[in-house]
A = this chain, B = another copy of it.
Amino acid sequence: MALKKKPVTGMKDILPREMEIRNYVMNMIRETYGTFGFSAIETPCVEHIENLCSKQGGENEKLIFKILKRGEKLKLDKAESEADLVDSGLRYDLTVPLSRYYSNNANELPAPFKALQMGNVWRADRPQRGRFRQFMQCDIDILGEPTYLAEIELVLATTTLLGKLDFHNFTIRINDRKILKAMAQYSGFPQESFDTVFIILDKMDKIGLEGVAEELEKEGFAKDCIDTYLGMFQEITSDIQGVRFCKDKLKDVLDPKVAEDLETIITTVESVKSADFKMAFDPTLVRGMSYYTGPIFEISMDEFGGSVGGGGRYDEMIGKFTGNNTSACGFSIGFERIVMLLLERDYQIPTKNGKKAYLIEKNMPADKLLKILEQAREERNAGTQVNISIMKKNKKFQKDQMNAEGYTEFVEFFRDKM
């Protein structure tokens, strides 16, 4: 039989050691976010193709794993395009399904609703090291809370979690899509080209101020627009003064409340935080998805050269399903990156109970086996992990192997010594 041993391209088998870390992180997530009042929910992994292709997903919509129609619905002979063959697909994020979920279940949910989702998503990205086509996402969202209380709680919950997982000295970069737009407007860019401007601005990290200037020129934007725009970025500091500068400078194009709220979010989080990190105002922060409408944020960690999570306010997406706008704000942590960093650090999970291996000589009579199992029962009931195996000829190898699995204590049972 031509059975295949490897997982499908770009997906992976998870070995016990990684799984231990994953379960530890998942438990910590549930526990920590639980104390912030988030309730776990779940949506199916399979979603209507119409919802997945609703333009909310941006570039991800090109990466959907599509599922073939079944039975009579599949008319292969009449199918002219891919779209005729499929009616569903694997979700590529948890935000689109959350919007559908909320519109379907709002009557049975409290308002505001604080949702915690942990689940796999699938994207047919080009496979590369450390990036997989199936990966876990972990989102918290507050639906129905229009004030900055939502942003503050999301950032506090996320950073408390990271602190508990032993991450320190990271930065939460924060901006507001309204400031982003006001800066472009103030500089004189035409409204319809904002998206183009932001795509270029988003590269600031990589290509620097001069690179951004060059690319904006290449797009044909006026020199004085570009100069005004980039001049501001040079003046804005990453602290509260930077936010105040924007409030003042952009007063003709920006509601001052936007800057005031951002200031409150930053100062409040800085005062209440229980982890070791800093908040930084970053006017170059764009966040790819066009659905964001207010504050946006991202976690930067030196240990990892990039973002390990982000989120923001998206007050208009749920309205696409329900017809009524519902304020919404979410924060997603990069679960896979966090697990990867912990694995690289060889992170030791704090455990309460020991791991013990019982090695039993071959052909142990049933009455003696019974005694061994009774002993194991008592230890297991007390919480000890007891792994019972038949003793092998190469006992040393067997013990070494079990040692690698974390079994440090061995108890041996022989037929004649019981």
Interface residues of A (CB under 8 A from B): 1-8, 11-16, 19-20, 22-23, 27, 30, 34-37, 39-48, 50-51, 54, 65-68, 70, 74, 76, 79, 81-82, 85-88, 90, 100-101, 103-105, 108-112, 114, 120, 122, 124, 133-134, 145, 147, 149, 152-153, 156, 160, 264, 267-268, 271-272, 274, 320-322, 353, 355, 357, 360, 366, 369-370, 373-374, 377, 380-381, 383-390, 401-402, 404-405
Given contacts A4-B50, A45-B45, contact A377 B34 (CB under 8 A): no
Task: Give the CA-CA distance A47 to B9 in the complex, in Å.
Answer: 10
Q: Is the CB of B13 within 8 A of A48?
A: no
Q: Quick check: A19 and B44 within 8 Å, CB to CB?
A: no
21 contacts between A and B (CB under 8 A): A1-B320, A3-B51, A3-B103, A5-B100, A5-B104, A8-B44, A8-B88, A13-B43, A15-B105, A16-B41, A19-B42, A20-B39, A35-B380, A35-B385, A45-B120, A67-B68, A110-B404, A112-B389, A149-B360, A149-B369, A156-B377
Can you tell how many copies of this chain the complex includes? 2
Closest-by-CB residue of B relative to A14 is: B42
A23 and B41 alpha carbons, distance in the complex (Å): 10
Given contacts A8-B88, A15-B41, A134-B46, contact A373 B103 (CB under 8 A): no
Q: Shortest CB–CB separation between residue A386 and chain B, in angstroms?
A: 6
Chain B residues positioned under 8 Å from A47 (CB to CB): 8
Residue of B nearest to A322 (CB): B5
Q: Establish whether residues A68 and B82, one from each chain, have CB atoms under 8 Å apart when the complex forms.
A: yes
Check if A384 sits within 8 Å of B35, measured CB to CB: yes
**What residues of B have a CB within 8 angstroms of the CB of A44 in the complex?**
7-8, 11-13, 134
Residues of chain B within 8 A of A122, CB atoms compared:
45-46
Residues A108 and B15 in contact, CB atoms below 8 Å apart: yes
Q: Are B37 and A386 in contact, CB atoms less than 8 angstroms apart? A: yes
A402 in contact with B110 given A12-B44, A70-B124, A134-B45 (CB within 8 Å): yes
Task: Name the 9 nearest CB pairs between A and B, nearest first.
Answer: A37-B387, A11-B44, A16-B39, A14-B42, A35-B380, A19-B40, A66-B68, A272-B373, A4-B48
In the complex, chain B residues whose CB is within 8 Å of the CB of A101: 13
* A37: chain B residues within 8 A (beta carbon): 355, 357, 385-388
Out of B1, B36, B79, B112, which one reaches A386, CB within 8 Å? B36
Q: Could you tell me the distance between the alpha carbons of A133 and B108 in the complex, rounded to whole angstroms? A: 23
Distance in angstroms between the alpha carbons of A370 and B148 in the assembled complex: 12
Q: How far, in whole Å, are A11 and B42 apart by their CA atoms in the complex?
A: 11
> What are the residues of chain B within 8 A of A39 when measuring CB–CB?
16, 19-20, 405
Q: Which residues from chain B contact A6 at a C-beta distance below 8 Å? A: 104
**Cα(A392)–Cα(B149), bound, Å:** 14
The CA-CA distance from A114 to B374 in the complex, in Å, is 20
Q: Name the distance in Å between A161's Cβ and chain B's nearest Cβ.
A: 11
**Closest CB-CB distance, A140 to chain B, in whole Å?**
13
Find chain B residues with CB under 8 A from A48 CB. Answer: 4, 8
A142 nearest CB across to chain B (Å): 10
Instruction: Please give, as numbers and ranges, the residues of chain B lying within 8 Å of A8 by CB-CB distance.
Output: 44, 46-48, 87-88
